[in-house]
Copies of this chain bind each other. A is one copy, B any other.
Amino acid sequence: MERRRRPTLADVARMAGVDASLVSRVLRNDPRGFASAETAERIRAAAGEIGYRANAAARGLRSARTMTLGLLLPGFSSPVYASIAHGVEERAGEQGYGLVLGTHAAGDPHETITGMLMHGRVDGLLVSSGRIEDRALRRLVEQAPQSVVLVNRQVRGVAASVVLRDADASAVAVAHLAELGHRRICGIFGPRSLDTMVRRRRGFLAEATRRGVEASVVEMAERDHRAGADGVVQALKGGTRPTALVAGTFPMGVGVLAGLHEAGVDVPGRISVVALHDDGLADYLVPRLTTVAMAAERLGAEAVDLAIALVDGADPRRVVVPDPPRLVRRESTASLISND
């Protein structure tokens, strides 16, 4: 079977009886080179007929722009990453950018990311991963300061980042519980090596103090289902006997529910539970899980905008997505009926 050659600019030019450069300008709507309406039409018709598509490599080589962004994720497992990826993809598409995905489930993460950037495969890189060490990131940014945006993370020495209002999200959770009458609340968070966790924890403690609520914190090494379930054991073991639990991530919230069920504790009868970050799954848990929704998709979108701005020469900056965290009340929280 003959594999026919992909049509090139020259083919279109020949067909329309004009020069290739004119075809290039017309097809890109280059403002510096208007063709007569008639010629333009002829060119477009020719291009359409033979199904011309500009070769991305040639274009990239010439213009030193790939119109592609890289997104580095730790994996696809967590719903937050799924949301971020979705937001990134959508916004990138709107802006005419393609998306190269890298998870560093496999191989050396630092090699993966530097590779994408250094080979010129992408114009900018969105790094949304807690697993890459701060100093690797700083080194990378030294080499390519105009190309790296941190997503859902802040690192000293990296000037371009986008984060959510994590502290406020915790505050919303605590406020909700306090209004339901809870006076002893335990927060179960992930490791302090993640700055999201640091902010959520800080917001949690601050709001508790503000409201005169007794707060305790359990710190887990991970932030997945298991960490939530294991965290429950620790939360119940202490002498504080909390009547409400705040889970630092959505998966932890799922684990907390499972852990409490395992321990024979009724939710929300005896203990109320709120998780930070919302997900569609919440409606199908038993009981339906009350959450604090944050704008994870917008986080991705803002990161894309920032990355493109950097590529265009703008100065790096730190963005906080302004959307206020929003309580999604379901069945895992209830008024405290004193049971001391």
Contacts and interface: CB of A to CB of B under 8 A. Distances in A.
Contacts of A1: 145
Given A105-B86, A106-B89, A145-B1, A120 B57 contact: yes
A119 interface: yes
Q: How many monomers of this protein are in the complex?
A: 2
A105 B82 contact: no
Contacts of A118: 6, 51, 53
Given A225-B283, A255-B284, A57 B60 contact: yes
A158 interface: no
Contact of A107 (B56, B68, B93, B100): B93
Nearest to A92: B106
A143 B58 CA distance: 21
Nearest to A54: B119
A210 B74 CA distance: 45
Given A76-B76, A283-B225, A103 B86 contact: yes
Interface string A71-101: 1000111000110011001100110001111
A57 B66 contact: yes
Contact of A100 (B98, B106, B146, B286): B98
Interface of A: 1, 3, 6, 51, 53-58, 60-61, 66, 68, 71, 75-77, 81-82, 85-86, 89-90, 93-94, 98-103, 105-107, 112, 115-116, 118-121, 143, 145-146, 225-226, 228-229, 254-255, 257-258, 261, 280-281, 283-286
8 contacts: A53-B118, A56-B57, A58-B61, A61-B61, A98-B100, A99-B100, A257-B284, A286-B286
Closest 9 CB pairs of A and B: A57-B60, A76-B82, A101-B101, A53-B118, A258-B284, A57-B61, A90-B106, A56-B119, A225-B284
Given A75-B86, A99-B102, A261-B286, 13 more contacts: A51-B118, A53-B115, A55-B120, A57-B61, A60-B60, A76-B76, A76-B85, A89-B102, A99-B101, A100-B101, A229-B284, A254-B284, A258-B283
